[in-house]
Amino acid sequence: MNRLNPYKLAALAASLLLAAAPAYSAEKLKVGMMLPFTGTYAKLGATIKNGFKLYVQQQGGSLGGREIEYVEVDSEANPAKAVDNVNKLILQHNVDVLLGSVHSGVALAMAKRAKESGKLLIVPNAGADGVTGPLCAPNIFRTSFSNWQTGYAIGKAMAEDGHKRAVAVTWKYGSGEEQLKGFKEAFEKGGGKVIEELFVPFPNVEFQAVLTQVAAAKPDAVYSFFAGAGAVKFVKDYAAAGLKGSFPLYGTGFLTDGTLEAQGADAQGVKTALHYADQLGTPTDNAFRAAYSKAYGDQPDVYAVQGYDAAQLLKVGLTATGGDPKKSAEFAAAVRKATFDSPRGPFTISKSHNPIQDMYLREVKGDVNKVVRVVVKALEDPGRGCSMK
Amino acid sequence: MDLTTFLIQCLNAFQYGLLLFLVASGLTLIFGIMGVINLAHGSFYMIGAYLAYALAPVVASAIGGGFFATLLVGVVLSVVFGYLLEWAFYSYLYERDHLQQVLMTYGLILVFEELRSLLVGDNVYSVEIPQVLAGSIPLSEVMTYPTYRLFVSAICLVLVGAMFWVFARTRLGMMIRAGASNREMVQSLGIDISFLYRVVFAAGFALAAFAGMVAAPVSTVYPGMGGEVLIICFVVVVIGGIGSIQGALVAALLIGFVDTFGKVLVPGAAGVMVYLAMALILLWKPDGLFKAG
């Protein structure tokens, strides 16, 4: 019998590997999507899902050698049902990866369960600081933003625009208060002073009382946090109360994202900060927007970007671990080293697993949020309370 | 707070209170007078708001459009729809206990929300304010007041008057009040109580839808809007005293003032002020301010 030469050995090894590969990838990777598919946030849930699936399709339906299959659970953006829903995904469907959610309360519950069970969790929207703060874990990642980041960016921009005295108006609940904290930190660091903080109970949309208080306080500018229908109504009421001409309106990006059509002329000139903007014009963004609108017949938004990047993150981790999301340490090490080529611009992942990203100041012009400038380059969330350093 | 600001806040409170009465008036009829716990009331309001949004282009192409024409078409449609709804579902509820009423009307909420999602989608929409009312009135050196809000207040006041007149002065009102206190007796006097209730229900539905249509230009149109008004409507009806129209009016104004000045004076706890007021009033008068009968 001929002695095996090195070439033959290599060929044999390769054929063995090839034979083994399909056997391994025959076992599909189950991604459990826990997103709001009904209710107020239904559209956000749908675009996150579309963004995620778009990337997976572009990769030929598999990431890191594992074919992807989906299990969907409607989170209803209801924190009271979050624990049951996430248990359903973990115990009943036995998913490999958790993807969710939009609502911060739901995401916090998911993060708690992920931390206990060691299941990989990717958060494609909810900004609750706690997810990458006290609840941070090697197996928990976020591809969106932290509330602190968005508030900090707009606070810096307002101070840079020369405003000294600001009134803050926000919904009184977790996200609103966390963003307010970030805003105050940067605005006061820049030499500004918050002269009055006004709260509206969530999800109340009766703003006349606080608008009257704004007029009485006569600030240089107004900071605000509202989202969805509340954002539409606040911007319209602000203009109707005659305040738009007197006090420039600023806010975190949610004030004018996905709402411009309904806000119409009243939103013109409103300035907001976010990690994404319309018409960025980078090659990655252009390619993403073209692919998305071709696949779904609709323009993508920031939520679609976050879903898309969640799939990118999953690919990086799976490639490094040979398709095994349970190897948390290797997965995390690979993700921390990677630079993600996102439609928003390149970003990396911090030690507490939140994106380190450029924050844009945008101004509403026509029906788009146009970039004015980059307010903070590579803004990193301080990850307060996180033990991974 | 200076005097001007205080007066503007009072106007805000009054105007919000009237808007609350407008929304809660339909619930006063259906829950307060007919005794059906109608959780779907918020959905009726939502249907009205979406009608204002969806009908506008249809009405514009058919008869030239205009907000008021849309309003009229919307009211006619909702009376018909309310009438059918009572015939198909609610007429089976009068004799049932409260749990069954809650279950069925909760089911209707889910059905209406899903239909809304299928037919119109999940976006937020705004409805144009009619041209004649699009202006605003200056109140202080920087603050102006939208004319449309004052118009809504005027509509509410007209409606308050009309409801009082119908209930206190007309034969129809007398029959409804009699039916509310003793159904069998009214029936035995030869009045077709089933038909009467169908009419009252249709009116309640139309009132809620009308409120949604009138509020649409100031509140915007969005998924889940019904759920938010439902709770505050129940607060109004319960504080006012079940079955009492003047009770609902007083309660709505009271809530308007508590909510507005809560936001101004105790911004950190504005969310609980309304419910705190409700708890205190119910401790003092467990049947509400104006218990009918």
Q: What is the mean pLDDT of chain A?
A: 91
CA distance A60 to A366: 38
CATH number of the domain enclosing A197: 3.40.50.2300
Residue B222 and residue A229: Cβ atoms within 8 Å?
A: yes
Residue A311 lies in a domain: yes
Residue A208 and residue B142: Cβ atoms within 8 Å?
A: no
Q: Are A120 and A231 found together in one domain?
A: no
User: Which among B126, B142, B268 has CB closest to A242?
Assistant: B142
| Per-residue pLDDT band at A18 (split at 50, 70, 90) | very low
Residue A192 lies in a domain: yes
Looking at residue B179, its pLDDT comes to 83
Q: Are A268 and A207 found together in one domain?
A: yes
Cite the DSSP H helix spans in B170-224: 171-181, 183-188, 193-219
Mean pLDDT calculated for residue range A112-119:
94
With beta carbons under 8 A apart, name residues in chain B contacting A236.
Answer: 126, 220
Residue B126 and residue A215: Cβ atoms within 8 Å?
A: no
Q: Are A197 and A241 found together in one domain?
A: yes
Domain stops at, among A274, A295, A317: A274
Torsion of Cα atoms, B125 then A51 then A130 then A80, to 10°: 60
Q: Are A60 and A123 found together in one domain?
A: yes
Q: Are A335 and A302 found together in one domain?
A: yes
Residue A388 lies in a domain: no
Residue A233 and residue B219: Cβ atoms within 8 Å?
A: yes
Q: Counting one residue from A and one from B, how many pairs have CB atoms under 8 Å apart?
A: 118
With beta carbons under 8 A apart, name residues in chain B contacting A42.
Answer: 117, 122, 223
Residue B270 and residue A38: Cβ atoms within 8 Å?
A: no
User: pLDDT tens digits for A22-36?
Assistant: 444 458 999 999 999
Residue A211 lies in a domain: yes
The minimum CA-CA distance between A204 and chain B, rounded to whole Å, is 8
Q: Are A286 and A256 found together in one domain?
A: no
Residue A12 lies in a domain: no
Q: Are A248 and A152 found together in one domain?
A: yes
Looking at residue B187, its pLDDT comes to 87
Question: Within chain B, how many helices (H) and strands (E) appear?
Answer: 11, 2
Residue A232 and residue B9: Cβ atoms within 8 Å?
A: no
Residue A103, sorted as left (phi over 0), alpha (psi -120 to 50) or beta, turns out to be beta
With beta carbons under 8 A apart, name residues in chain B contacting A211.
Answer: 143
CA distance A76 to A39: 6
Number of domains into which chain A is organized: 2
Residue A225 pairs with which residues in a beta bridge? A170
User: pLDDT tens digits for A337-348?
Assistant: 999 999 999 999
Q: Are A283 and A257 found together in one domain?
A: no
Residue B115, sorted as left (phi over 0), alpha (psi -120 to 50) or beta, turns out to be alpha
With beta carbons under 8 A apart, name residues in chain A contacting B146.
Answer: 240-241
Looking at residue B34, its pLDDT comes to 82
Looking at residue A25, its pLDDT comes to 46
Domain stops at, among A274, A290, A306: A274
Residue A378 lies in a domain: no
What is the predicted ipTM? 0.84
Looking at residue A77, its pLDDT comes to 86
Residue A194's domain comprises 148-274
Token pair of A204, please?
């109340």
Best mutation target among A50, A208, A235, A238 (most B Cβ atoms within 10 Å) is A208
| Per-residue pLDDT band at A189 (split at 50, 70, 90) | very high
Which stretches in chain B have pLDDT values below 50? 293
The minimum CA-CA distance between B252 and chain A, rounded to whole Å, is 14
* Helix or strand run (H / E) with residue A35: strand A29-35
User: Which among A201, A208, A259 has CB closest to B124?
Assistant: A259
Residue A186 lies in a domain: yes
Q: Are A266 and A297 found together in one domain?
A: no
Looking at residue B108, its pLDDT comes to 95
CA distance A65 to A28: 10
Q: Are A51 and A91 found together in one domain?
A: yes
| Per-residue pLDDT band at A19 (split at 50, 70, 90) | very low
CA distance A310 to A141: 9
Residue A72 pairs with which residues in a beta bridge? A33
Q: Are A179 and A201 found together in one domain?
A: yes
Residue A154 lies in a domain: yes
Q: Are A213 and A224 found together in one domain?
A: yes
Looking at residue A26, its pLDDT comes to 55
